[in-house]
Amino acid sequence: MSEIKYVASGLTPLILHADNHLLAVNKPTGLLSQDSGTGLRNMEDWAREWVRVDKNKPGSVFLNAVHRIDKAVSGVVLFARTSKALSRLNEDIRKRNCKKIYHTLVERTPEKSSDELVHWLTHEHHRAEVCKEGDKGAQRAVLRYRTLKQLGNLTLLEVDLETGRYHQIRAQLAGIGCPIAGDEKYGAKLVSGEKDIALHHAQLGITHPTSRESVVIKAPYPCDSEWWVRL
């Protein structure tokens, strides 16, 4: 617990939004969003401890992740601080009443500067595969991207994620011949010493679960990643 308290005390710079019902953080790469059952450190435990210390809450603290991003991915992770918020946000996400924007550096340049990608994906053994409609376990995956900047042999894309399939952005971009930098699992040739991938959840737009007002949460690029210091 002493390690968690130490980290929680330094977590404040990563807090993007905090109120009585929500807590949003800018997750660093290399951290799980939630406990995977392995006992490894994770963002949810750290955020829960931050609430306990910052809000001076004795005993257990209610905090549940509304969505997750991969361990190798950085950016916005949203937590619900009340059961009402969790229920309403889960329903909004199920109905796709939210907007998720990612930024990513990909190898090579897509043929089109912007496009909508529609694939069918299946996954097993911790990897997503592009497949055909009707294949066993196939799920429709949709995203839209646009080119923001060219950086030598890398291209910065903004991705508007419509569906939320397993490793969707990673698999779909690799499927058009533009794997995410650092993503060896999906064919990337460029890798970083930290084994992180150049994928960042840059913005999340939601409807606040109690006020019903629009909330837009933005996360700056991680300053300790060799990918994002290029920008």
Q: Answer yes or no: are the C-beta atoms of 159 and 144 closer than 8 Å.
A: yes
Both ends of the chain: CA-CA distance in Å? 37
Q: Return per-residue pLDDT of the chain as tens, 231 residues.
A: 334 443 555 667 899 999 999 999 999 998 899 887 777 779 998 899 899 888 888 878 999 999 999 999 999 999 999 999 999 999 999 999 999 999 999 999 999 999 999 999 999 989 999 999 999 999 999 999 999 999 999 999 999 999 999 999 999 999 999 999 999 999 999 998 777 899 999 999 999 999 999 999 999 999 888 899 888
Cα(151)–Cα(139) distance, integer angstroms: 33
Residue 134 to residues 15, 73, 120, 137: CA-CA distances in angstroms?
42, 30, 9, 8
State the pTM of this model: 0.92
Cα(93)–Cα(70) distance, integer angstroms: 18
Q: Name the residue with tokens 């109905």.
A: 95
Please compute, for residue 61, the number of CA atoms within 13 A of its CA located in the half-sphere on the CB side.
25
Q: Answer yes or no: are the C-beta atoms of 29 and 221 closer than 8 Å.
A: no
Cα(46)–Cα(165) distance, integer angstroms: 26
- Is domain 2-230 given the CATH code 3.30.2350.10 in the classification? yes
Q: Answer yes or no: are the C-beta atoms of 49 and 42 closer than 8 Å.
A: no
